[in-house]
Structure 1
Amino acid sequence: MDALELLKQDHAKVKELFEEAESADQNEQKTIFKQIKTELEVHAHIEESVFYPAMQKFNELKEMVRESVEEHNKVKTLLKEMDTLSGGEDFEDRLEELIDNVEHHAEEEEEGKMFPKVRELVSSTELEKLGNQLQAAKGQRKAS
């Protein structure tokens, strides 16, 4: 599978989980949050270990990669904070903040400059290869 399509699928899956969490009660939210956390951790790992390093070789993408890594760090901080909360208003506030941050990140990558620029710079063959590497990294991360 093409790397960009795989990453878009990840974004869509998390968005679905966000929608479930928003309409769930407090107990269900914590359960769904665990799924969201796992998905986001795996996604960040494969982007940071495979996708972003491959994109760093293009000068046109370096700044976008740097911004994406900063966004990941903010999301990781929110996930840690949410882990310590038992529910209630603070948890829901953090959940909204998490949703806003992740949706902004996905939108920036998909519809902003990054993915369209990657399509210009990287051949479809290379994107397929990169997609296979992302899939392998995802499988390894989920297994550990």
Structure 2
Amino acid sequence: MAKTKTKSIDILSLIEAEYRQVEKIFAEVEKPKGAKLVEQFNQIYIALLLHARTEELVFYPALREYEETEQYVEEAEEEHEEISVILEEIKALKPTQPEFQKKISELKETLEHHVEEEKGIFNAVRECMSDQELSELGQDFQETKAKLVSNVEAALAM
């Protein structure tokens, strides 16, 4: 019997898809009030923390292996830290507090800057890594992310 080969998705496509997902949630966050707003923030919190931790465990170590891309890691990690701090600040607020929506806007701007920065990183990565390497990293990214879900959901509950 022939083996069916599943096409793995490269890591850059996965990361870009995650950004699109979070952008959709941000578009929704600007509309609702109350419980729906909390639910959407929780989705953003989980998505961004999962994304950041997975990138830090899978993508950034791979970037350090190439002279052309290792220069980007420190700034990207700093941006992740900034996003994590803002997430925790929002988590401590009630949606009815005026600061809540201001922090959501700050988070969105910080994320948009990070996404723009990573576009440059992606171009450098495509120059250094083969399609095979990108696919293998994509597989690692998906597996690592799946393992981290319960930890990130627990962090939200704290």
Task: Give me the TM-score of the superposition, normalised by structure 1.
Answer: 0.94
Q: Which residue of 1 aligns with 2:6?
A: none
CA-to-aligned-CA distance 1:110-129 (integer Å, 9 cap, x gap): 2xx20011001000000000
Aligned to 2:102: 93
State the 1:84 CA deviation.
Answer: 0.7
Mapped partners of 2:53, 2:135: distance in 1: 19
- If each structure's helix is expressed as a fraction of its own residues, which one has the higher value? 1
8 Å Cα contact 2:76/2:114 also seen in 1 = yes
- Runs of at least 5 residues in structure 1 that lack an aligned partner in the other structure: none
| Partner Cα separation in structure 2 for residue 115 and residue 74 of structure 1 | 21
- What's the counterpart of residue 131 of structure 2? 124
Q: Select 1:108's aligned residue among 117, 133, 140.
A: 117
Counterpart CA distance in 2 for 1:93 and 1:63 is 32
Q: Report the equivalent of 1:31.
A: 39
2:155 matched to which residue of 1? none
Q: Is 1:56–1:62's contact at 8 Å kept on the other side of the alignment?
A: yes
| Paired amino acid for 2:146 | G
Unaligned runs of 5+ in 2: 1-8, 152-158
Which deviates further from its counterpart, 58-67 or 73-82? 58-67
CA distance in 2, matches of 1:3, 1:24: 33
SS in 2 for 1:85: coil
1:80-125 alpha-carbon deviations (Å, 9 max, x no partner): 1111101221000000000000111112112xx2001100100000
Runs of 4+ in 1 over 2 A off after TM superposition: none
Kept in 2: contact 1:15–1:103 (CA 8 A): no
Residue of 137, 140, 143 corresponding to 2:144: 137
> Could you say what the CA RMSD is over the residues aligned between the two structures, in angstroms?
1.0
Contact 2:10 2:131 in 1 (8 A): yes
Whole-angstrom distance in 2 between the partners of 1:37 and 1:91: 14
Q: How many residues align?
A: 142
For the Cα contact (< 8 Å) 2:90–2:103, is it kept in 1? yes
The residue aligned with 1:40 is 48
- The CA distance in 2 between the partners of 1:139 and 1:83, in whole Å, is 23
Q: Percent identity?
A: 35
